[in-house]
Each structure stands twice: as C-alpha cells, then as structure tokens.
Structure 1
Amino acid sequence: MRVLITGAGRLGTQIARVLSAARNDVTLVEHDEDRVAQLGDLPRVRVVTGDACDPELLEHAGVLACDLVVAATGCDEDNLVISLLAKRRFDVARVAARVNEAENAWLFDQRWGVDVAVPAATPLVSLIEEATGATDTVALLRLSKAGVEVMETAITEESRAAGRQLGEIVLPPGTVVATVVRDGRPTVPHPEVRLLPGDELLLVSHEATEQEVHAAFQ
C-alpha cells in the first residue's frame, strides 16, 4: 500500500514507522525544516519538505499514486484542506484526518473528503487501524514500541534456503520466524516446513539487522 502522511510530529512519525515496518510504501510530508532535521533515522520512509496544503507539493510527493492519505498535522484547518485536495483533486481512495479540536469534529466528513475522522483522544493503535482498515497493525505497533523489529524476506529460485526445511536455517540471535506466507496464506512456521520459491517469511527480532536476516536465507 502506498501511504502519504502529512505532519511529522509525534503522531505522524509513529504512524510512518509502523506502516513502513509493515512494508508499506510511506512518504512523510513536513513543512518545518528544523523538525525534518530532527527526525533522525526513519527506515524506508521518504521525507518531503514543504507545505502539504499546496497541490503541487502533494503531487511532487506522489499523492497521485497513493492508496491512503493521513492528514495528521496539529492544525485542523490544514487537515481539512489536505483531505479535500486528496479526495477531490487527486481522487485518493481512502483519506483519514486527525481532529485536534473537538468543536471542529462536525466538519470532518465526506464534504471535506474525509473517510475516517479520528478525534485527538483516540489511541494511536485505533487511529492506524481505522486509517488502514487493517487490524494486524496492532501487533506491529506493540512490537515496535517494545523495540522489536519486524522484517520480511522472500524465497526465490536463487535463495540458498530454497528447498531446505525451516529448522535447518540458522537464524541470527534474538530472531524468530512469525509466519510463512505461501500462496497468499500464512502458515504456522514448524521446523519441518520446507521453504519453496515464492514463500514470504515474516520475522521479528530485537537484535538482528535486515542484512543479517537476509544473509540467513539468501
């Protein structure tokens, strides 16, 4: 899923971390250059500096290819303008907007292009669930807060793990296989499962890097 998030405050950056960990294509837009400079490392997140209320900036950020826009700035007026542009001008399929001031909640509806309006008091987990329409992000969020990295690797014809049983693979320390996805269906990762080209593995680790996980299977 391609996601564009506007506002790189605590909320926007947390959403970006969780959705990028779930292997979504994430772009984060922030107008404050100082805040952008303080973001630090956001793996797999593209950061664009500029005003998300500017249609040209949104287009430059890739809104035309997005499946989801999350307006998460600290200003309700900006979130409404961003939502309206995303829905009416760029025809984004799903638009979620954060409502900062309760008295403005009545504005956040289809008239302004908002599919999902999320009050400020809503927990982050619920916001992400409602915005994406997914429930498995809850587990991802909890893992990320606990300092556990969620990673994915795919088995190809060239992978040295192809044809081998899962139990034969030496994993990096602190790493476990959460599931093996085959033909679009998750399966229990028993040690006897023989890995086949096309399999996708979801792993969690609190120590290993993506490079170490890649080396174990590829």
Structure 2
Amino acid sequence: MKVIICGAGQVGWQIARHLSGENNDVTVVDNNPELIRRATDTLDVQGLTGFASYPDILDKAGARDADMIIAATYSDEVNMVTCQVAHSIFAVPRKIARLRAQSYLDAIYSDLYRRDHMPIDVVISPEREVAEAAMQRLSAPAAFDTEKFLNDKAQLLGINIDADCPVVNTPLKQLTDLFSTLRAIVVGIRRDGRLFAPEPNDQIFPGDACYICVVDEDVPRTMEVFGKTTRTQERVVIIGGGNVGLAVAQRLEQKGRGIRAKVIEKSRSIAEKAADALERTIVLNGDGLDKALLAEAGIQRADAILCVTDDDKTNMLAAVRAKAAGCPMTIALINDPTLVPMMGPLGIDAHINPRQTTVSSILRHIRHGRVRGVYSIGDAEAEVIEAEVLSTSPLAGRILREIDFPEGVLIGAIEQNGKVIKPTGQTRIEAGDVVLIFALADDVPEVERLLQVSIDYF
C-alpha cells in the first residue's frame, strides 16, 4: 500500500512508524526540514519538505498512484485543503484528516465532508478521542488503562499488580480452574519494562502491569480477583476547562444527576465559555495548583481528579497535590511519553496520551481486513485489534489450538452470533466471528495475514 502522511509531528511519526514497519510504501511530507530529517533517519520512509496542501508537493510525494493520504498537520485548514487537492487533482481513493476545531465537528455541518463538497472519508478529532478516553478511565478507576471493544461488550483493562493481589504467584492456566465462569484472559504482561504475551505456565508477580481482555459484565468480578476495589465516581474535579475538560464535563452531566463535577480553569475567558456551556457544573476561575482553590472545589471529598490542561507538568503537579489532599483517584493528561515513568513514583494513578488515542483512531481506519477497532499499547509496543473473520481468512473454520500463532499473539475474546465468549484451545473460529487479538508490534503483519483481505477493501 502506498501512503502519504502529511505532518511529521508525533502523530504523523507514529503512524509512519507503524506503516513502514509493515512494508508499506510511506512518504512523509512536512514544511519543517528537521522533522523530515528525523523521520527519514529513524524510519524506512521517504521524506519531502514542503507544504502538504500544495499540488506540486503532493505530486512529488507520489499522489498520482497513492492508495491513501493521512493529513495530520497542526492546521485544520491545511489538512482539509490537502484532502481536497488529493481528491480533485489526484483522485486518491482514501483520505483521512485530523481536525481540532469544534465548529468543523458539529453534527449539523456534517454534510461538509461529502464527496461533492469537502471529500474527507474519515475525520479524526483528538479532543473527542481524549474526552472518550477520560470517561473510560473514570468508569474503571482501579485500572491504569481501559478501552472498549465488540460494541462495548468487552474491555481491555490495564491493572497494576500489588503484593496483596489474591492471584500472585499463580500460573495463568490455574486461573481458569479456580474461576471457571470468569470470562477474562491475561493477554499481556509488562515486567521490568518489557511487554510480552504470557504462556499458560507464566505467573503474575507483584509489580507487574497486566493487560486483561474481559467481558463487560465480568469487569467488577475481574477487579476483585486481581485485588482491586471498585467505587462509583460521584464527585469529580476537572482541572482545565478547554475543549477536553468541557467535553468531559458535558458527558458527566449527560450521565445523570448522581454525578457532581467542578471545573477549575485559569483563563477567565475560557472559564466563562465553559460556564455558559454547562448547566449543573460549577466552574471556578483560577490556578489548578492553588491549594486554597482545590480545597474550595472540595478536593478532599472528591472521588477523582482529572487534570487536562495543555501543560503536562501542570497536570502532573495538580494530580500530586490532589493526592496529597486525599483524593483517591488521579488522572493526568500527558503528551510527553518520557514523563510517563514518573507517574508511579509521584503516585499518579492513570494517564491519557492524546497522541496514542489519535494514533489508535487513525490505525482503526487503515488496517487491512475487516478491522473494526485498533488500540495502541504503550509506546507503540503492541496493538489490540478487533476484526471480523472473513471466509478467505486462514482462521476460518479452524480450532484455536491448531492455529500456529506467533509467540506475541493471543486471542482475548470472540463474538459469535452476537454473544461474547472466552476462547479456549477447543474453540472453533467461523467466518463472521469477530475476534479480539493482542499482538506485539513485530507480529502485527502476521496478524494481518491471518485476517487476509486484498487492497480492494480500500
């Protein structure tokens, strides 16, 4: 597949890293020569310096025979014009654009993206993706990572294993015997900084971070089995009233009157805008690091704090101050992945990486096969892929234990005839089933082969 990626920032670089690693023909375009140099030095891609929306630049990038263009520059307008030029002049079949401004995303203007207007096949909104990720973190407060799959019938949970976890030092295969009706499978373990797919005889140790695929109804019981208590999030403090904070507050209001949220925003104009848009949420104008203001917001009685300003360090420090004041659940928005290892020592419970959520959203739309969802884990170390099994797939009609999966691949759940089941070695996969697959990055190409489909899908 020939792909042009416009924008060589973190999102564009991560997408290029994924696609070039799978032997796709990737060209990266950016007007910053330093970013292009970084991409070509570290990845197997071609680089072109210039403005992505210029027809001559797209022509040099190979738009005449490109299969897809991904416009992920910092400018919404450049991304939109790039897709228009790619369509009108070069007839690129598939066009994806990242758009931030909420006005472009309003449902009443959705006709704008029709092929006879502004021909964009997929619009990705980082703010909406992050707001959804924040809601998922709040729904599973004892997990450091969450993502929903199979029409919300299954979840991926990231759980840190403590010394008092009831199942430490227990081989994974024994968990099936001990909890025979529990529909949950440990698909990934991070130990001493290394992520791997566990074998049946592997054990869980204190300090491990486990990724677990679990049927939605079994989430509370799974939390108990792994030593976590679940509590409802009735009082939430949000630091940052911009697009992300506002979107989360609005969703909390929609969930019902049982949830009480307060927003702290430093900018007076942004705070006033948030106050106008919210009905039952109190908005306070001031610094989220101010101890007195946090006390006024009731941080000592809050069930969770969500720090989503545009400054990583502010988010982390606000989370630390809230934890010191007695808030049991702290979530911070962190753009810089090098800051993530500091979360544990600082006592921050969970984080949201906007680039990771955006990358996952884009990958969902560019994978081969009937891929319905993709979630990127860690620093692009692994993916959880939700895909329909086609009749042409090598998986169709075969029993799981007879399939030669790579070491880094595990099946976490299967949806058959509308019902989600926990897979065993005896489970037969049929055409039309939807599978949830954990795959380490190096094994993703083999997973795509198992989900086999031609480029005609695009």
Cα distance in 1, alignment partners of residues 103 and 30 from structure 2: 25
Bigger drift between 40-49 and 97-106 goes to: 40-49
**Structure 2 regions of 5+ residues with no counterpart?**
130-356, 384-391, 396-401, 407-439, 444-458
Report the CA distance between 1:30 and its aligned residue: 0.7
CA spacing shift, 1:204–1:71, aligned 2, 3 Å: closer
Deviation at 1:143, TM superposition (A): 8.0
1:125 counterpart = 2:131 = no
Counterpart of 1:204 in structure 2 is: 442
Report what 1:138 is aligned to. 374
Which consecutive unaligned segments of at least 5 residues does structure 1 have?
Answer: 149-182, 192-201, 206-218
In our comparison, the structure showing a higher alpha carbon Rg is 2
| Alpha carbons 2:381, 2:441 under 8 Å: kept | no
Q: CA deviation at 1:142?
A: 3.7
Aligned to 1:32: 32
Distance 1:125 1:137 in 2: 8
Shift of the alpha carbon at 1:42?
A: 3.3
| Contact 1:96 1:116 (C-alpha < 8 Å) held by counterparts | yes
Determine if the alignment matches structure 1 residue 83 to structure 2 residue 89. Answer: no
> Residues 159-197 of structure 1, C-alpha deviation per residue, up to 9 Å, x if partnerless?
xxxxxxxxxxxxxxxxxxxxxxxx974683389xxxxxx
> Which stretches of structure 1, 4 residues or longer, exceed 4 Å deviation after superposition?
131-134
Residue 56 of structure 2 corresponds to 56
Where does residue 160 of structure 1 map in the other structure?
none
Rate the CA distance shift 1:87–1:43 in 2: closer, same or farther, 3 A.
same
How many percent of aligned residue pairs carry the same amino acid?
30
Match of 1:8 in 2: 8
Q: After alignment, is 128-137 or 18-27 more displaced?
A: 128-137
Task: Check conservation: 1:22, 1:137, Cα contact below 8 A.
Answer: no
Give the direction of change, closer, same or farther, for the CA distance of 1:65–1:85 in structure 2 (3 Å limit).
same
Question: Scaled by the length of structure 2, what TM-score is found?
Answer: 0.31
* Residue 103 (structure 1) shift: 1.6
Cα distance between partner residues in 1 of 2:90 and 2:58:
9
Task: Note the alpha carbon deviations across 1:25-64, whole angstroms, 9 max, x for none.
Answer: 1111011113223446333211111111110110011011
What is the TM-score normalised by the length of structure 1? 0.62
Q: 2:39·2:47 contact (CA, 8 Å) conserved in 1? A: no
Matched residues in 1 for 2:113 and 2:405: separation? Answer: 47
Greater RCO, CA 8 A, separation 6+? 1
**Within 5 Å, which residues of 2 pair with 1:122-201?**
122=129, 123=357, 124-132=359-367, 135=371, 138=374, 141-142=376-377, 145-146=380-381, 185=394, 188-189=403-404
- 1:101-158, Cα deviation, whole Å (9 max, x unpaired): 122224444311101111123322122212456539937x44862289xxxxxxxxxx
Q: Structure 1 residues 130 and 136, CA, compared in 2 at 3 Å: closer, same or farther?
A: closer
